[in-house]
Amino acid sequence: MTAAALPVERHGDSLWRRALRKFRRDRVGMLALLVVGSYAVIAAGVMLGWWATGWAEISGPKWAPVSAEHWLGTNIIGQDIFSRAIYSTRTAFEVGLVVAIGATLVGAVLGALAGFYSATWVDEIVIWLMGVLDSVPFILLVAAIAYSLQDSPWSMHIAMIVTFWIGTARLVRGEVIKLKGLEFVESAHAIGLNRLSIIFRHILPNTFHILLVQATISFVAAIKSEVILSFLGLGVKDGMSWGLMISESTFEVLAGYFNNFIAASVLMFGLVMAFNMFSDALQDALDPRTVKSP
């Protein structure tokens, strides 16, 4: 690590410490983090096989009521609704994490390249690509990509990554345009570092606060999109999700059985709402305009 980058890194460390203290004082943000953490524990337990292992088994009669054996009753073919709803938490986290990481990485790389080479052909290509993707309504674009790649188990993930990177790229591009004129970047040029090293080792790490917030936003958007795509039959194929539960509940609601719909809707609402509040609190904590020295 060169001395040229040290002033910004020290400032960054100070910013992170102050942001952490501010976040800890945000009661809503801490409560949201606790709720998200609880969902994460549930998802981890499912992945490790601790619970919800029998989500696909027919363990009771058709539309069994709530009981000690079936905490939320059973669905139209006798599968336990509670196990299916818990298993769907794993699906939500899996999709959310893959899409958030993928979209953030793609947006960071393309945004950094566009910002560093602003007003050149590289910047024009990235801006043109963002404009083309933005011109198509979001859900139609995701559905079209997911449908065209439906033979792939990663079709839904790819579809969302292709559309979600745009917002991150725009923010990173603007930040890189600002950062590339600072003294530590000029010093890196002066000592002969190549451009890619300057971009990825010195400039991009200073946009991490933006990337972190954008990743949380992409996480929430991915969960909501997965529910929509699964409801339409373009999402999860081999497994269970809240979207599939809501889809199958459309027949049950007509017959007066609402447990399936309520279980999926409440769990999805709880995770999305908690993550939205966590994202807002994180954004406030990392905003350089509001983070003051103690």
φ and ψ at residue 143, rounded to 5 degrees: -65, -40
Nearest to 172 by CA among 81, 106, 257, 264: 106
Determine, yes or no, domain membership for 196.
Answer: yes
Determine, yes or no, domain membership for 167.
Answer: yes
Average pLDDT over every residue of 215-232: 92
Determine, yes or no, domain membership for 16.
Answer: no
60: CATH: 1.10.3720.10
* Residue bearing the bigger pLDDT, 20 or 85: 85
Q: How confident is the model at residue 13 (pLDDT cuts 50, 70, 90)?
A: low
Instruction: Provide the pLDDT for residue 181.
Output: 85
Question: Is the model's pLDDT at 81 over the cut of 90?
Answer: yes
Determine, yes or no, domain membership for 283.
Answer: no
pTM of structure: 0.87
Determine, yes or no, domain membership for 65.
Answer: yes
Q: Give me the percent of the chain exceeding a pLDDT of 90.
A: 52
Residues near 87 by beta carbon (within 8 Å), at least 6 away in sequence: 46, 52, 55, 239, 240
Question: Is the model's pLDDT at 241 over the cut of 50?
Answer: yes
Residue-range definition of the domain harbouring residue 261:
47-267
Q: How confident is the model at residue 14 (pLDDT cuts 50, 70, 90)?
A: low
Determine, yes or no, domain membership for 86.
Answer: yes
- Is 223 strand, coil or helix? helix
Question: Is the model's pLDDT at 4 over the cut of 70?
Answer: no
- Is 74 strand, coil or helix? strand
Contact 186, 176 (CB under 8 A): no
Average pLDDT over every residue of 141-146: 81
Question: Is the model's pLDDT at 233 over the cut of 90?
Answer: no
Q: How confident is the model at residue 153 (pLDDT cuts 50, 70, 90)?
A: confident
Question: Is the model's pLDDT at 27 over the cut of 80?
Answer: yes
Contact 29, 285 (CB under 8 A): yes
Question: Is the model's pLDDT at 182 over the cut of 90?
Answer: no
Determine, yes or no, domain membership for 236.
Answer: yes
Instruction: Provide the pLDDT for residue 259.
Output: 92
Determine, yes or no, domain membership for 285.
Answer: no
Average pLDDT over every residue of 257-262: 92
Gyration radius of the chain's alpha carbons: 23
Q: What is the pLDDT of residues 34-64, one digit of tens each?
A: 999 999 999 999 999 999 988 999 988 999 9
Total domain count, the chain = 1
